[in-house]
Amino acid sequence: MGAVWSLLCRSRTGSQPTTVKHEIKLEDPKPFNQPYCRIPPGTYKEMDWLYFLVGCAVLFLLLQICTLLRSDCDLALIWMKYIGKSPESLKGQVVWVTGASSGIGEALALKLASAGCRLVLSARREDRLQTLKQRCVELGYGTPNDYLVLPLDLLDYDSHKGLVETALKYFKKIDCLVNNAGRSQRAVISKTSFAVDQQMLAVNTLGSISLTKAVLPVFIRQNSGQVVVTSSLAGKIGSPGLASYCASKYALHGWFDCLRVESVMYNIHVTVACPGPVFSEALIHAFTEDPNKNLGLKMQPGEKRMTAARCAHLMALAMANNMDEVWLTANPELSYLYMNQYLPSIFHWLAKRFGQKRLKKILEGIGDLH
């Protein structure tokens, strides 16, 4: 057919047949040197700033982690060392310290006295309080009139209002109450008498609540005041061998967290301090599974613990800056607190596995669990 058609065309025109070309015009692509999406001017500069800010954030986070690993308190309190008020800003305040006969309470009383505070010193052992008062005066921290020795039994709830009146009569005001008195414990749950649970809550929890409620009307009338509570690492993390103690400290957090919110209108501040292992006489008087038997262990110098003086300094710093809650412990306990706060599922998984080592020490009667 092609040959026939060629002959016909040649016979009619006398020339070669023409071929009709149908050109399909496509939109010409853009040159390779031009981008398909035009980036607005200044975008690269904005991205440079974004990278810079992200880099600064990462660097800041790394610095915080490094600081945390070398610290013996939480990051917020570390910042207060540099940008906050010093304990000396408490000068002239009347501070009531319970449990002042030894340990953290005694060290805190000395620290506050050195800052110029006037003190109400309370505990069961009056002779030790008198010795502490004399020591403060000998160190040049004021005169004997700047101190009131006021023996206190936390379990005698009915006496608390009378003690408040005595303190008011002497100093005319109370600026701060430090609920520091309490007892520790070492015993596993399965062997602990229910009487121990009752006594622990009665001393550590109800005793502090009763005294605080007795002082609270004074703060409301003054339209100012501060309540400080010595809680514990055990008030944030449950630990083998400390069940009753943990219960009493966890309860303090709940009650005083509520008080903090309810007291804002009266300009009353609540500070909860959570120390980790601290050198003190706590294990000598600690509860066991038997309510009539004390643990009777003395802490050894080689144990990994914070000194009472260091703990007192950090607590005074927290008081001066009206901080809500502070953690006073070194690593690894400090890292445990952060992990429990921000990664609770991972923390509980690890606690169930590594907590067995601590439980074994308790069952063997070993005093140093850290």
Q: Are strands 225-230 and 268-275 parallel, antiparallel or unpaired?
A: parallel
Q: State the catalytic residue, choosing from 141, 147, 245, 336.
A: 245
Q: Write out the two tokens for 9.
A: 């065309």
- Whether the Cβ atoms of residue 208 and residue 201 lie closer than 8 Å to each other: no
User: CA 331 to CA 348: how far, in whole Å?
Assistant: 18
245 in catalytic set = yes
Name the CA dihedral angle for 261, 263, 266, 268, rounded to a multiple of 10 degrees: -100
Q: Write out the two tokens for 329.
A: 């412990």
Interacting residues of 303 by C-beta distance below 8 A, sequence separation 6+: 277, 279, 368, 370
DSSP 3-state percent helix, strand, coil across the chain (nearest 5): 55, 10, 35
- Whether the Cβ atoms of residue 220 and residue 266 lie closer than 8 Å to each other: yes
Q: Which residues carry out catalysis?
A: 245
